[in-house]
C-alpha cells in the first residue's frame, strides 16, 4: 500500500495518479478521508500521550507524598490516576479503531501509476511498446486450433479434466505432458543461467501472505479459498516467493535479489463463452515459471528492462511472434506502478494471446510486507518486481498452432533435448 507520509506530502500527485486509473472526483475523496483519519489518529495519540505523561508524573508525586506523610493529598492524586486510567483505556480503544479504519482505507487505494503509463479505460487503450517487425505467420484455412490439434494427437484432454475436477482443469497426456514438462525445465534453466535462484514454494498461502502482495482485499473472487483453515491456493508464484522476505531487513549489498520458481497456479476468475476462451485460452489451473526481484529503488527500472529482455529472449528462442504492450491506467493491476504485457500471435486463431505480465511495484508491496533494507544508518523500503517467464498454457497453445504441418507438429530446437523428440505425429 502507499506510504502514509508519501500520500500526505504528495496529495495532488496521488490524486492525479488515481485519475489516470479513472477514479471519479467522488472516489478521489478517499485520499482526503485518509488524511482526516490520520489527523484524528495523531490528535488521539497526542491526547493519550499527554494523559500517560500526567499519570507518570502523578505516580511519582504520590510516592513522595506518602513518604512525607501527606496521605490525603496522595489519595486525591491517586483518585486522579484512576480517572486517567479509564480515560486512557477509552482513548486506546478509540486509537485502535481509528488505526484499523485507516489501514482499511489505505488498502482501498491502488498504487500510483508511473508517469509513462498512458491514460485509458480498457485493454483496447493499451499502448504497443514493441511491435512485431516481421510478417505474421499465415497457416491457411485448413489450420487447426490447439484444442483440435490436442484431440488429433492426444496431447491434452479437457473432458477428462472436467470429469476429475471440473471445467478449466486440463489433463495433459503422452507427448503433451512431456512438452509441458520440457517447457517448465527450459524456462527454469534459462532463469538459472540469468542468475535467478530457483525456489520451490508452497502452493497454499495464509491470509497475511495474500494481503502482503495485494491479492487481498483486491482479488478475493479470483482465488480458491480453503475456508476451514483460512488458506488460499496461489493464483501465481509471485505470492509465496515475494513473501520470503516479509518483515525482513536486507543489506544494501544484498541487491539484486533474483528468484525464480515453477508452480501450478489456480484462478477462480469467471470465464465467458466463445472461441477466445476455448481450449487452453482460459483455464482455472495452469503452470507458470515466475521471476521475482527485490531491488534498490535507484535501480528498479533498469531491472525492469532486464526482465523484459529476459522474457523476450525466451520467446525469440521458441520462435514465437510476440509484441509488448504498456498497460494503460484502466488496465493496470491494483498493486503495479508500471506493467508490460507480452502477447504471442496464434496463427490458427489469428489473434494475440497474453502470456506474460512484467511489473514494477516500487514500494507498494514492500510497504505491506515491511520489506526494508539498511541505507547507512536508516532503513528504506525496497522495490519489488515480478514477471511470468512464462505462463505455459497459451505458450503451449501457440506452439501447437504455429508449428503444425501436414506431417505433424514441429518442436522448436531449444526444446528437443528436453522432450526427446522433434515432431509430434
Residues sharing a CB contact under 8 Å with residue 343, sequence separation 6 or more, in sequence order = 322, 323, 324, 325, 352, 353, 354, 355
Number of domains in the chain: 2
Is residue 169 located within the same domain as residue 317? yes
The phi, psi pair for 314, rounded to 5°, reads: -60, -45
Is residue 40 located within the same domain as residue 103? yes
Annotated binding site for L-serine: 236, 267, 290, 386
Is residue 285 located within the same domain as residue 406? yes
Annotated binding site for ATP: 267-269, 283-286, 354-357
Residue 277: the pLDDT is 76
The domain boundary, picked from 107, 135, 159, lies at 107
Does residue 28 lie within any of the structural domains?
yes
Taking the C-alpha atoms of residue 275 and residue 364, their distance in angstroms, rounded to an integer, is 37
Residue 276: the pLDDT is 65
Is residue 246 located within the same domain as residue 378? yes
Residue 137 Cα distances to 306, 324, 347, 398, angstroms? 28, 18, 6, 11
Is residue 211 located within the same domain as residue 276? yes
Pairing between strand 127-130 and 225-226? unpaired
| Nearest residue to 256 via CA among 299, 289, 291, 213 | 299
Does residue 118 lie within any of the structural domains?
no
Largest CA distance in the chain: 107
Taking the C-alpha atoms of residue 173 and residue 239, their distance in angstroms, rounded to an integer, is 29
Sheet containing strand 408-410, edge to edge, reads 404-405, 408-410, 423-424
The domain boundary, picked from 107, 137, 160, lies at 107
What DSSP designation does 244 have? G
Annotated binding site: 236, 267-269, 283-286, 290, 354-357, 386
Does residue 217 lie within any of the structural domains?
yes
Is residue 200 located within the same domain as residue 54? no
Taking residue 161's Cβ as centre, other Cβ atoms within 10 Å add up to: 19
Does residue 112 lie within any of the structural domains?
no
Does residue 233 lie within any of the structural domains?
yes
Is residue 50 located within the same domain as residue 135? no
Is residue 100 located within the same domain as residue 138? no
Residue 275: the pLDDT is 54
Q: Any idea what the CATH number is for the domain that residue 75 is in? A: 1.10.287.40
Does residue 213 lie within any of the structural domains?
yes
The domain boundary, picked from 62, 78, 107, lies at 107
Taking residue 247's Cβ as centre, other Cβ atoms within 10 Å add up to: 11
Is residue 247 located within the same domain as residue 355? yes
pLDDT digits 0-9 by tens, 46-104: 999 999 999 999 988 988 888 888 888 888 888 999 999 999 999 999 999 999 999 99
Does residue 55 lie within any of the structural domains?
yes
Residue 270: the pLDDT is 54
Prior bond of 256 cis (ω within 30°): yes
Residue 274: the pLDDT is 54
Q: Any idea what the CATH number is for the domain that residue 296 is in? A: 3.30.930.10
Is residue 157 located within the same domain as residue 93? no
- Which parts of the chain have pLDDT scores under 70? 270-276
Say if CB 62 and CB 81 are below 8 A apart: yes
pLDDT digits 0-9 by tens, 301-358: 999 999 999 999 999 999 999 999 999 999 999 999 999 999 999 999 999 999 999 9
Does residue 387 lie within any of the structural domains?
yes
Is residue 128 located within the same domain as residue 95? no
Taking the C-alpha atoms of residue 256 and residue 293, their distance in angstroms, rounded to an integer, is 7
Pairing between strand 249-251 and 171-172? unpaired
Is residue 196 located within the same domain as residue 62? no
Full domain range(s) for residue 317: 123-424
Amino acid at each position: 500500500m502507499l506510504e502514509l507520509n508519501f500520500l500526505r506530502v504528495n496529495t495532488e500527485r496521488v490524486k492525479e495518479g488515481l485519475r489516470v486509473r479513472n477514479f471519479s472526483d467522488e472516489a478521489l475523496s478517499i485520499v482526503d478521508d485518509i488524511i482526516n483519519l490520520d489527523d484524528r489518529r495523531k490528535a488521539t495519540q497526542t491526547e493519550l500521550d499527554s494523559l500517560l505523561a500526567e499519570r507518570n508524573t502523578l505516580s511519582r508525586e504520590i510516592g513522595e507524598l506518602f513518604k512525607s506523610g501527606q496521605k490525603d493529598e496522595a489519595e486525591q492524586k491517586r483518585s486522579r490516576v484512576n480517572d486517567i486510567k479509564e480515560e486512557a483505556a477509552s482513548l486506546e480503544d478509540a486509537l485502535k479503531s481509528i488505526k484499523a479504519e485507516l489501514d482499511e482505507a489505505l488498502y482501498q487505494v491502488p498504487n500510483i501509476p508511473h508517469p509513462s503509463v498512458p491514460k485509458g479505460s480498457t485493454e483496447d487503450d493499451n499502448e504497443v511498446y514493441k511491435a512485431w517487425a516481421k510478417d505474421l505467420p499465415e497457416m491457411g484455412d485448413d489450420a487447426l486450433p490447439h484444442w483440435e490439434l490436442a484431440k488429433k494427437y492426444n496431447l491434452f484432454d479437457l473432458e477428462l479434466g472436467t470429469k476429475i475436477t471440473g471445467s478449466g482443469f486440463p489433463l495433459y497426456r503422452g507427448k503433451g505432458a512431456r512438452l509441458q514438462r520440457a517447457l517448465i525445465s527450459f524456462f527454469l534453466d534459462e532463469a538459472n543461467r540469468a542468475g535467478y535462484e530457483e525456489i520451490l514454494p508452497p502452493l497454499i498461502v495464509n491470509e497475511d501472505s495474500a494481503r502482503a502482495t495485494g491479492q487481498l482485499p483486491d482479488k478475493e473472487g479470483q482465488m480458491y479459498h480453503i475456508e476451514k483453515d483460512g488458506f488460499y491456493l496461489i493464483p501465481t508464484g509471485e505470492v509465496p516467493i515475494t513473501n520470503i522476505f516479509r518483515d525482513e531487513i536486507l543489506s544494501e549489498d544484498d541487491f539484486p535479489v533474483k528468484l525464480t520458481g515453477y508452480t501450478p497456479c489456480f484462478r477462480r476468475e469467471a470465464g465467458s463463452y466463445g472461441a477466445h476462451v476455448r481450449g487452453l485460452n482460459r483455464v482455472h489451473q495452469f503452470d507458470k515459471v515466475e521471476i521475482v526481484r527485490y531491488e534498490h529503488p535507484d535501480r528498479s527500472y533498469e531491472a525492469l528492462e532486464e526482465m523484459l529482455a529476459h522474457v523476450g529472449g525466451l520467446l525469440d528462442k521458441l520462435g514465437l511472434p510476440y509484441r509488448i504492450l504498456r498497460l494503460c491506467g484502466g488496465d493496470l493491476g491494483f498493486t503495479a506502478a508500471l506493467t508490460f504485457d507480452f502477447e504471442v500471435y496464434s496463427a490458427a486463431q489469428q489473434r494475440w494471446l497474453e502470456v506474460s505480465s512484467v511489473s514494477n511495484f516500487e514500494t507498494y508491496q514492500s510497504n505491506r510486507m515491511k520489506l526494508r533494507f539498511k541505507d547507512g544508518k536508516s532503513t528504506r523500503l525496497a522495490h519489488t518486481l515480478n514477471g511470468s517467464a512464462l505462463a505455459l498454457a497459451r505458450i503451449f497453445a501457440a506452439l501447437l498452432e504455429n508449428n503444425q504441418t501436414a506431417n505433424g507438429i514441429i518442436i522448436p530446437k531449444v526444446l528437443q533435448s528436453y522432450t526427446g523428440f522433434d515432431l509430434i505425429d
